[in-house]
Amino acid sequence: MPAPIRLRELIRTIRTARTQAEEREMIQKECAAIRSSFREEDNTYRCRNVAKLLYMHMLGYPAHFGQLECLKLIASQKFTDKRIGYLGAMLLLDERQDVHLLMTNCIKNDLNHSTQYVQGLALCTLGCMGSSEMCRDLAGEVEKLLKTSNSYLRKKAALCAVHVIRKVPELMEMFLPATKNLLSEKNHGVLHTSVVLLTEMCERSPDMLAHFRKLVPQLVRILKNLIMSGYSPEHDVSGISDPFLQVRILRLLRILGKGDDDSSEAMNDILAQVATNTETSKNVGNAILYETVLTIMDIKSESGLRVLAINILGRFLLNNDKNIRYVALTSLLKTVQTDHNAVQRHRSTIVDCLKDLDVSIKRRAMELSFALVNGNNIRGMMKELLYFLDSCDPEFKADCASGVFLAAEKYAPSKRWHIDTIMRVLTTAGSYVRDDSVPNLIQLITNSVEMHAYTVQRLYKALLDDISQQPLVQVASWCIGEYGDLLVSGQCEEEEPIQVTEDEVLDVLEGLLVSNLSTPVTRGYALTAIMKLSTRFTSVNRIKKVVSIYGSSIDVELQQRAVEYNALFKKYDHMRPALLERMPIMEKTASNGPTEIVQTNGETEPSVVEAKHPPPVTQPTNQANDLLDLLGGNDVVPVIQNTVSTKPASAGGELLDLLGDLSLSGGTSPAPAPSVPTSQPSFFLDGLTSQPLFNDIAAAGIPPMTAYNKNGLKIDFTFERANPNPNIAVITIHASNSTEADMTDFVFQAAVPKTFQLQLLSPSSNVVPALNQGTVTQVIRVLNPQKQQLRMRIKLTYTHKGSAVQDLAEVNNFPPQSWQ
Amino acid sequence: MRFLLLFSRQGKLRLQKWFTSMSDREKKKIIRDMTTMVLARQARSCNFLQWKDLKIIYKRYASLYFCLAVESQENELLALEIIHRYVELLDKYFGNVCELDIIFNFEKAYFILDEFLMGGEIQETSKQIVNRSIEASDMLQEVRFTDSPCVRREAGF
């Protein structure tokens, strides 16, 4: 059999392949040859074959059949064989292959070899890919070598020990004695790897950390020598002596000094020295300064030193080198919380970085800019940030827009400024704004009552320009629906009022309905807005026509709305003005910028203009527009109300909104003027989540009951009288879980006899937390016109400890007051 | 350090060193991700990228990209120096190293790397000591190379 081709020859041949297929063919041929050579147990050329296999492996071809051959090479006496064998082991064999354990014995022997380079190979392989089992077996050998006087071996043993500790942390203790005089070495290689070993031990064990704190003076001395000593050809990099070691020592000092006053004080001087004396013209000097800054910020350094550190970062920001600017921005971001004022001094430089061409730098600068915004600099900062928003890449726009909203909400100097800022964001980055910021904006606009005319005018103008940005369009249509009367009245205090006719406004809104650019959600907004204008405009016929057209729309959502609005026109026209009245001020809960639609919970935080908000009493009074009633066809007598209670704060512009505030203009009170709304009761509607609309009233004093209590799941019913309509009982179920595991995918279903009607609203959640840490609530409305005894069958399904549970139960113990 | 990759401008892998254990599939995916990300970078951008929870430092030397992945607490500026030191070591060994040297002598590139780094950490900070170790090891090889660089490229197994 001819000698297998040489490695370099093979490489040359493969490189001549012109296509992937040609290369694959060559590789396959060679692999076949190599396989047969392996089968023949050819010692002479094994090394060559494995080397070729490694080359092919790098090209991406499978090479697992060479694993055992690597082991044979490692076991060989020839150094060339061992070298390739160990390389192959590191590339092909890792701890996932069972075969790898066969290496252990060879490595053990080689660790005790007479030639240090063979020992080195073994240490290197163990230190790179040794599995936990191998590490356990060979840790003793490594520990022995850690104590040798041969610096070549000692440095490798130290790093091998690091690997052993990473793999098998329990073995850390056994290396402790050997670390005793590691730092007294003169050899930089050993010093460096020793510092790495000490760092690893300190990071893993607080005891070790405490133990090694006593090394701080020694480390400080070594560092000082490095800085003060003259030129050392062996370790010099651009005039700095062994920067790798310096950085590593600084890192260890950081860990030792953190949280410890004494150690921090011991290193204060040297840190100041490094910070002021290091040459900054090249990257290597800046690398050391960077590490120094990180150390200063992490330990308990005195304030002068901290200011020095931040100033270094400030200087970094002005450096021409992009990498250094990037690193500075990242570090400043970390320190901005703790050293806010110091970082503020560099604000203008940071803002300049927004204009940098580099994407990574821009992103960091943007994050940092937002962190620096406060009440004093909001106007200036916002100008820069809005300019940035205009011109930045799309990948930034969403985050930037959210950041702007958040900052504006926290620090807006005036309402007008706030609205202008929002407008600016919507018009420049309107399509990148997060969907849930739409309701937040609407809430904000509602609350700025004196700005309504101005806002609607600006939004209208924006719509004339561009209807492609959905969030903008949605907010604009909502506002036009609400404040369209202000728009056509031509009054606006803040700026030059525009002359708009009702028809023009309706043109715009109808345009949204038909445009291809509008999403279904937007169309919903537009339709609702048109409907609202029927009470604010005079051209009702046109509106009636539009609404009736959409009664046959393919879009189910639109169709439903149109049909309901039609119904309003036809059968319930007397209720229309009340229904479509101006929205009340919405309560704000958490102002965290873009958040989910929040439900208010009855906290009456007085906002800008208000009528009195009486305490959340809950005599539910008018139900004039109870959806249930509408469907049930009961005639309702509107009652004058004067209470307020919780309001659903969703401004999603859905049906919910429309009927969200019901006032009762029964006989006496005229339709409220479209300015300050009087307090309204809120209303319960389909689709509303489990917000209990009326606080638990003991209006009728119906006692709660336990409907179900089995296997740790308890379901209580509480009752409310929703209205003077005695036919409707509102039951709230409270599900709690006393077991130790959560009940997930919890679904509650109920059925009632035929004479009743049941309406089940959405539950608060479908996870019942363990150990009674919380309850799931859900509201049931039962219509019982025949006043029969209430009975119910319930079905519960949930997942508990991995298995699905299902149960049926009858509930017969309803208190008589609930249905009489 | 988590891994070190060398690849050409066309995305062909020239060297791969993994400092943690990973499956072949994961390695292939990382190689694909790195080459795509790094090759897409503009000419004068900074040398740092964020990828998952790691910092990626890359630098181009002639036709080769050197790509290093480090953990978040490590010093990126120093990582650039590490890459540069490795290039210097290669350069000293091969004499004006070029991509072809690394292609045809990949095993030597690994040997040099293994004298400089181990387990993701630097084992020797002196250039001379690393070079001397490599030369001494080369002398031990039963199949020897002469000192001439061109012969170094051609001879061997």
**Which amino acid belongs to residue A328?**
A
Residues 6 or more apart whose CB falls under 8 angstroms from that of A642 comprise A614, A679
Residue with more model confidence, A612 or A539: A539
- The Cα A565–Cα A535 span in angstroms is 12
Q: How far is B124 from chain A (nearest CA, A)?
A: 4
User: Residue A345 above 60 pLDDT?
Assistant: yes
Torsion of CA A271, A273, A274, A277, to 10 degrees: 160
| Residue A414 neighbours by CB distance under 10 Å | 10
A206 or A606: which leads in pLDDT: A206
Report the range of poorest mean pLDDT among A25-39, A476-490, A716-730, A760-774. A716-730
pLDDT in tens, B46-87: 899 889 999 999 999 999 999 999 999 899 999 999 999 999
Write the class of the CATH domain A705-818: mainly beta
The mean pLDDT of A648-661, rounded to a whole number, is: 38
- List the domain boundaries for chain A: 435-580, 705-818
* DSSP conformation letters of A659-718: TT------SSSPPPPSSSPPP------TT--S--SS----SS-PPPEEEEEETTEEEEEE
Q: In the prediction, which pLDDT does B5 show?
A: 97
What percentage of chain A carries pLDDT values higher than 70? 85
According to the model, what pLDDT value does residue A163 have? 96
Nearest to A87 among B42, B49, B110 (CB): B110
Query: pLDDT tens digits for A128-169?
Result: 999 999 999 999 999 999 999 999 999 999 999 999 999 999
**pLDDT at residue A726 in the model:** 67
Q: Do A326 and B78 touch (CB under 8 A)?
A: no
Q: Which domain holds residue B42?
A: 3-155
Chain A stretch 345-374, residues whose beta carbon is closer than 8 A to a beta carbon of chain B:
357-361
Which segments of A448-539 does DSSP mark as H helices, in order?
Answer: 452-465, 470-489, 502-514, 520-533
Bridge partner residues of A783 (DSSP):
A728, A757
pLDDT at A19: 94
Residue A216 near residue A266, CB atoms below 8 Å? yes
Helix (H) or strand (E) holding B8: strand B3-8
Q: Does A681 score more than 50 pLDDT?
A: no
pLDDT number for residue A599: 35
pLDDT at A663: 36
Which secondary-structure segment (H or E) carries A572? none
pLDDT of residue A580: 82
Contact B21 A11 (CB under 8 A): no
- Closest Cα to residue A322, out of B15, B44, B126, B6? B44
Percent helix, strand, coil in chain B, to 5, is 45, 20, 30
Nearest CA to A611 out of A711, A680, A694 is that of: A680
Q: Which residue has the tokens 């930037």?
A: A400
pLDDT category, A33, cuts 50, 70, 90?
Answer: very high
The residue of B81, B83, B153 whose CB has the most chain A CBs within 10 angstroms, and thus the best one to mutate to test that interface, is B81
Residue-level pLDDT at A120: 96
pLDDT of residue A458: 86
The predicted pLDDT at position A701 comes to 61
Q: What is the pLDDT of residue A632?
A: 35
Q: What secondary structure does DSSP assign to A12-80, as a single string?
A: HHHHT--SHHHHHHHHHHHHHHHHHHHHTT-STTHHHHHHHHHHHHHTT---GGGHHHHHHHHHSS-HH
pLDDT tens string A501-518? 888 888 888 888 888 888
Q: Say which residues have a Cβ less than 8 Å from residue A664's Cβ, sequence separation at least 6.
A: A578, A621, A622, A624, A638, A639, A640, A641
Over residues A483-510, the mean pLDDT reads 83
Distance of CA A248 to the CA centre of its chain: 33
Q: How far is it, in rounded angstroms, from Cα A200 to Cα A266? A: 22
Cβ-based contacts of A166 with chain B (< 8 Å): 119
Task: Check if A267 contacts B (Cβ < 8 Å).
Answer: no
Q: Which of A360, A361, A393 to mutate to test the interface with B (most CBs of B within 10 A)?
A: A360
Contacts of B44 in chain A (CB under 8 A): 322, 357-358
- The pLDDT score that the predictor gives to residue B39 is 94
Other Cβ atoms closer than 10 A to A67 = 18
- Indicate the pLDDT class of residue A694, thresholds 50, 70 and 90: very low
Contacts of B110 in chain A (CB under 8 A): 87
Nearest to B125 among A128, A162, A235 (CB): A235
The residue with tokens 């005894």 is A789
- Greatest alpha-carbon pair distance for chain B in Å reads 47
Q: Supply the pLDDT for residue A589.
A: 57
| pLDDT on residue B145 | 47
CA angle, A382 then A388 then A392, to 5°: 150
Q: Calculate how close chain B gets to A290, using CA atoms only, in Å.
A: 8
CATH number of domain containing B60 = 3.30.450.60
Neighbours of A379 (CB within 10 A): 12
- Write down the pLDDT at residue B138: 93
Residue A820 — very low, low, confident or very high, per pLDDT cuts 50/70/90? Answer: low
Tell which wins on pLDDT, A667 or A401.
Answer: A401
Residue A724 is predicted with a pLDDT of: 60
Q: pLDDT confidence of A722, banded at 50, 70, 90? A: low
Q: What is the pLDDT of residue A67?
A: 93
Q: Is A115 an 8 Å CB contact of chain B?
A: yes
Query: Distance (Å, rounded) from C-alpha A167 to C-alpha A170?
Result: 9
Host H or E run for residue A515 = none
Q: Which tokens go with A81?
A: 């064989």
Give the nearest partner residue to B46 out of A6, A163, A323, using CB atoms: A323
The DSSP 8-state label assigned to residue A179 in this structure reads G
Q: Tell me how far apart the alpha carbons of residues A102 and A443 are, in angstroms, rounded to a whole number.
A: 70
Chain B residues in contact with A357 (beta carbon < 8 A): 42, 44-45
> What is the Cβ-side half-sphere exposure of residue A347, based on CA atoms within 13 angstroms?
19
pLDDT of residue A626: 37
pLDDT beyond 80 at A601: no
Q: What is the pLDDT of residues A236-284, one digit of tens each?
A: 998 899 999 999 999 999 999 998 999 999 999 999 999 999 988 899 9
- Name the residue with tokens 């490594």: A142
> How many C-beta neighbours within 10 Å does residue A354 have?
23
Residue A47 with chain B: CB contacts under 8 Å: 157
> Which residues, at least 6 apart from A397, have a Cβ–Cβ distance to it below 8 Å?
A389, A429, A432
Amino acid at A692: P
* Measured distance CA(A192)–CA(A736) in Å, rounded: 59
Distance from CA of A197 to the nearest CA of B (A): 10
Nearest residue of B to residue A44 by CA position? B157
With an 8 Å Cβ cutoff, are B47 and A323 in contact? yes
Q: Hey, which residues 221-260 in chain A have their CB within 8 Å of chain B?
A: 234-235, 237, 242-245, 247, 251
Residues 6+ apart with CB under 8 A from A607: A447, A585, A587, A588
Does position A199 have pLDDT exceeding 70, yes or no?
A: yes
Number of domains in chain B: 1
Most confident of A430-439, A591-600, A616-625: A430-439
What is the residue whose two structure tokens read 């050998």? A141
Place of tokens 């309003």: A568
Among candidates A120, A189, A360 on the partner chain, residue whose Cβ is nearest the Cβ of B45:
A360
Subunit contact A127:B119, Cβ cutoff 8 A: yes
Structure tokens at A128: 């790179």
Q: Which of B46, B126, B140 sits opposite A360 (nearest CB)?
A: B46
Q: What does the pLDDT read at residue A814?
A: 85
Strands (E), A197-246: 236-237, 240-241
Q: Which amino acid is at A456?
A: V
Query: Per DSSP, what are the bridge partners of residue A543?
Result: none
Q: What ipTM score was computed for the predicted complex, to two decimals? A: 0.94
Distance from CA of A386 to the nearest CA of B (A): 24
Question: In which band, very low, low, confident or very high, does the pLDDT at A29 lie, cut at 50, 70 and 90?
Answer: very high
**Cα A550–A551–A555 angle (5° rounding)?**
65
How far apart are alpha carbons A296 and A311 in whole angstroms?
Answer: 12
List residues bridging with B57 in a β-sheet.
B48, B68
- pLDDT, position A146: 95
Residue A495 DSSP code: S
Give the pair of three-digit tokens for residue B106. 């990949």
Q: Which two tokens stand for residue A515?
A: 């445009």
Query: In the structure, what pLDDT confidence band is assigned to residue A703 with cuts at 50, 70 and 90?
Result: confident
What's B59-82 look like in SS3?
EEECCEEEEEEECCCCCHHHHHHH
pLDDT bracket for residue A744 (50, 70, 90): confident
A619: left (phi over 0), alpha (psi -120 to 50) or beta: beta
Q: Which of A96, A118, A100 is nearest to A109 (CA)?
A: A118
Distance in angstroms (rounded) separating the CA atoms of residues B47 and B68? 11
Beta bridge partners of B117: B122
Cβ separation A6–B157 shorter than 8 A: yes
Q: Which of A145, A149, A183 is nearest to A161 (CA)?
A: A145
Q: Which run of H or E residues covers position B144?
A: none
Contacts of A87 in chain B (CB under 8 A): 107, 110-111, 114
Residues of chain A contacting residue B124, judged by C-beta atoms under 8 Å apart: 155, 188-189, 192
**Residue B119 scores a pLDDT above 80:** yes
What's the half-sphere exposure (Cβ side, CA atoms, 13 Å) at B98?
A: 4
pLDDT digits (tens, 9 = 90+) for A419-466: 888 888 888 887 888 877 788 888 888 888 888 888 888 888 888 888
CB contact at 8 A, A646 and A682: yes
- Give the DSSP letter string of A763-788: -S-S-B-STTS--EEEEEEEE-TT-P
Place of tokens 């929870």: B53
Paired strand residues for A240: A237
- Residue carrying the six token digits 């309504």: A452
The tokens for A318 are 């002005």
Give the model's confidence band at A204: pLDDT under 50 very low, under 70 low, under 90 confident, else very high. Answer: very high
| Direct distance between the N- and C-terminal alpha carbons of chain A, in angstroms, rounded to an integer | 104
Show Cβ contacts of residue A560 under 8 Å, excluding neighbours closer than 6 positions: A655
B90 to chain A, closest Cα gap in Å: 17
**Residue among A386, A381, A383, A379 nearest A368 (CA):** A381
**pLDDT at residue A650 is higher than 80:** no
CB-CB neighbors (< 8 A) of B119 in chain A: 127-128, 159-160, 162-163, 166
Query: Using N-to-C axis directions, what is the helix angle for B127-140 and A79-92, rounded to 10°?
Result: 120
The phi, psi pair for A159, rounded to 5°, reads -70, -30
Q: Which amino acid is at A63?
A: A
> Which residues of B fall within a CB distance of 8 Å from A297?
none
Q: Which chain B positions have a beta carbon within 8 Å of A15's beta carbon?
A: 103
